[in-house]
Amino acid sequence: MRLPLHTRYADYDSKGHVNNAAYLTYFEIARGALWVDVLGGDADFPFVVAAAAVRYASPARLGEALDVEVEAGEVRRKAWVWRYRVRERATGRLVAEGETTQVMYDYAAGASVPIPDSLRARLAALPAATGA
């Protein structure tokens, strides 16, 4: 899934570059859109983000239009991975890439739980990340 990003003035540092912390917000926006697209926003699948990583390839500058791509990664017993790429829209230049690991979570018990079969099937039906 590819989404156009709407950067905010607050995303930029004093040099006119997108600040490193903004990329995790971009990943969250993409993850939320995919969650709604795949599950219709179903809240019966509570999860937490257990890990997040960002690798910066080139600076995004004030005024550049960006897109964020999100794809399915590995699906394990209790967790799955989303993979992200942020690109400059006009040229496709890679700006950043990363991933988050989501863990199914029982908030009442305060513990991780296995991914329900119904969610596992939906995740398995998504296109795998190509790394392109």
Q: Give residue limits of the domains in the chain.
A: 2-124
Show Cβ contacts of residue 76 under 8 Å, excluding neighbours closer than 6 positions: 115
Please determine, for residue 41, whether its predicted confidence score (pLDDT) is greater than 80: no
Give residue 128's pLDDT band: very low, low, confident or very high (50, 70, 90).
low
Average of pLDDT values for 108-123?
93
SS3 of residue 127 by DSSP: coil
**How far is the C-alpha of 91 from the C-alpha of 42, rounded, in Å?**
35
Mean pLDDT for 2-30 is 93
> 3-class SS at 30?
helix
Full-model pTM? 0.90
Confidence category of residue 43, pLDDT binned at 50, 70, 90: low
CB 82, CB 50: distance < 8 Å:
no
**What pLDDT is recorded for position 37?**
81
CATH classification for the domain delimited by 2-124, as one of 3.10.129.10, 1.20.1260.10, 3.40.640.10, 2.60.420.10: 3.10.129.10
Distance CA 18, CA 8 (A): 9
| End-to-end Cα, the chain, rounded Å | 13
Q: What tens digit of pLDDT does each residue of 44-78 get?
A: 789 999 999 999 999 999 889 999 999 999 999 99
Average pLDDT on 85-96 reads: 98
Can you tell me which residue has the tokens 């995004």? 60
